[in-house]
Structure 1
Amino acid sequence: MSEMPPPAPNRWRVLALWLAGIALVGAAGALLAPSPTAPDTARGTEPVELGVELGVELYAPVVAARAVPNLTGLPEASTFSTVANAPQDATTEEIPDGQLVHPTTPVPVFDQPGGAAIAVLPITQLGSDTWVPVIADEPGWVQVLLPSRPNGSTGWLSTQDNTLTIRSTTDRIVIDRAAFRLTLYRDHQQIGTWKVGVGTPAAPTPAGRTFVLASMTDATQKFSPVIFPLGIHSASYSTYGGGPGTTGIHGWPAADVFGRPSSDGCIRVPADALATFTNPSDPVPIGTPVLIR
């Protein structure tokens, strides 16, 4: 098995956050005990509460005094929306390190740490729990990829309110458009590689960093038993059949579409690739980072 290039360095400064929490506790004089989280059944993922992992429950005495932003009128950070003021992802060739976060309640998305609220990140997306990749962090904050338009949208989430759950995955998906190839890595080892169909020159598959947004079935179509929408959109179409123009990974009944530009922007994969993605004992987790070159 071939080895995947190292992902982006893990940016979690756990010790710094812990020490900052202890300092705050010394000033506030209170410490809350963390609550354990049940283990996740998906391979390669170990969910823990952010308050446990990073010691942010130590911030609780201070959080009580923080102002709650007014979320009225803010767009939902989903595949159906546009977040006009979202910061753009500055890195396009570096795979995120596999840290994922899930909001346990709808949470505000900020344009910078301590900045303005620009959107609301919902609990679910297209029927799946919302899991978004972390691409940077500062004490009390994480920057994540968003599934909204424009492509490359990011935002900052507060880790100070115990509203996020964190887990990590070693799964990575790399799509090479020029080679018409999709490769799945796990634990830095190649699990499988397949010839795929990508977008035509008139409707190219968008490049950049994104993630597996959801896993869904659609009874109105017959081309794929399962579809994996990604957190990225077509630059050529505003909609696919009335939807939001979300780019996805899905199957196709005819083999002649693989190894060439053959789609309207989605990635068409053979049946054995879908079987690997949906293997009941080792499924690809929602939130898995995807790099499209």
Structure 2
Amino acid sequence: MPRPYLLLSTVAAVTVASGVAIVGLARGNEPATIVEAPHPSASASRSAPSSAPAVPPAAEPPAGLPVIAYAKGPAGLPADPAPASTAAITEALRPETTVALYDAPGGTPRAVLPARISGLRVLAPIVARQNGWVAVLAPAANRRIGWVPAENAGWTAEPLRDQLVVDLSERRLSWLREGAEKGRWTVAIGTRQTPTPLGRTFVMGRTGTSGPVYAGLDALVLGSVPEEPEKLAASLRKAHTGIHAWTNTSVFGDDVSNGCVRTPAAVQKKLLAQIDPGTPVIVTA
């Protein structure tokens, strides 16, 4: 069985040590060339084209910089500037060991993104490129990005082909591959008190589930976390949202979960067969 991860669950307990996880889950400046009249004693002069903007240098990360963990997200990172964008995201950053996340190109290092989080291989979608830096969606946080130098930064780029879009107003999950819709389904989402987090996030990986209501199928673990953890049971306050099967078909089209997206079993089977880690998930209002 895959390693279990704590997800927002409508069931009170999750047993990690025993290998059981219960789920339910409760991002050409061409300069003008100026020609002046020649000085009587000089030839005509022209301004030389300016060079490309310099890449802001990366400050050395300090010792003891916080490492992002499953139950502890990063602090001090900027907000995602386009959380509701459904534009295709085609690359993900894959750390070779660890990389520091900065709060701006050439800014302050705020957190360490490890190669794995609780055993899940990290693939963070790249949402922007600017002046020799790339911005990625931060895991274990909602609507936060971190900046990484594009060159010699200890990471590689991985292609992405899929995208999941959750429309909360329609209670609908859509799957797109290279921009073409492959399927759409009515699902269940979080309640007003325990909402499904808005914005861009991504699939971190998958985990096993326990209980017949999950149809014996794994859940997809997302990078997003509860919006207001204090409204949840203490055991769920450091959990993640996810996408998982639900056998009670009466819930589809309703706001009933603690934040997760509940799908028909046949849909979950399809997603598990097709959706890879790093796949962007956009939750819109």
Shorter-chain TM band: 0.7 to 0.9
State the number of aligned residues. Answer: 228
Cross-structure match for 2:223: 231
State the alpha-carbon separation in 2 of the partners of residues 252 and 277 from structure 1. Answer: 14
1:263 paired to 2:257? yes
Q: Deviations over 1:16-61 (max 9, x none)?
A: xxx98xxx9xxxxxxxxxxxxxxxxxxxxxxxxxxxxxxxxxx9xx
1:278 aligns with 2:272: yes
Amino acid at match of 2:189: V
In the TM superposition, structure 1's runs of 4+ consecutive aligned residues that sit over 6 Å from their partners are none
Q: In 2, distance between residues paired with 1:192 and 1:124?
A: 30
CA distance in 1, matches of 2:260, 2:111: 26
Q: Which runs of 5+ in 2 are unaligned?
A: 1-26, 28-50
Which one of the candidate residues 140, 149, 156 is aligned to 1:148?
140
**Which structure shows the higher helix fraction?**
1
The gaps in structure 1 that reach 5 residues or longer are 1-7, 9-18, 25-58
SS of equivalent to 1:92:
coil
- Assess, with a 3 A threshold, how the Cα gap between structure 1 residues 266 and 67 changes in structure 2: closer, same or farther: closer
Does the 8 Å contact 2:99/2:153 carry over to 1? no
| 1-structure distance, mates of 2:228, 2:78 | 22
The match for 1:163 is 154
Deviations 1:40-83 (A, max 9, x none): xxxxxxxxxxxxxxxxxxx9xxx9xx8742241x2222442232
The answer for the alignment partner of 1:185 in structure 2 is 176
Which has the bigger relative contact order, CA under 8 A and spacing at least 6?
2
Residue 70 of structure 1 pairs with residue 62 of structure 2: yes
- 1:117 counterpart = 2:109: yes
Report which of the two structures shows the higher radius of gyration computed on alpha carbons: 2
Contact 1:134 1:143 in 2 (8 A): yes
CA distance in 2 between counterparts of 1:221 and 1:110 reads: 41
- Whole-Å separation in 1 of the counterparts to 2:187 and 2:193: 18
Shift of 1:140: 3.1
RMSD of the TM alignment (CA)?
2.5
Show the counterpart of 1:88.
79
Shift of 1:94: 1.1
Q: Look up the equivalent residue of 2:282 and give its one-letter code.
A: L
Q: 3-state SS of the aligned residue for 1:214?
A: strand
Normalised by the length of structure 2, the TM-score is 0.73
Query: Identity percentage over the alignment?
Result: 31
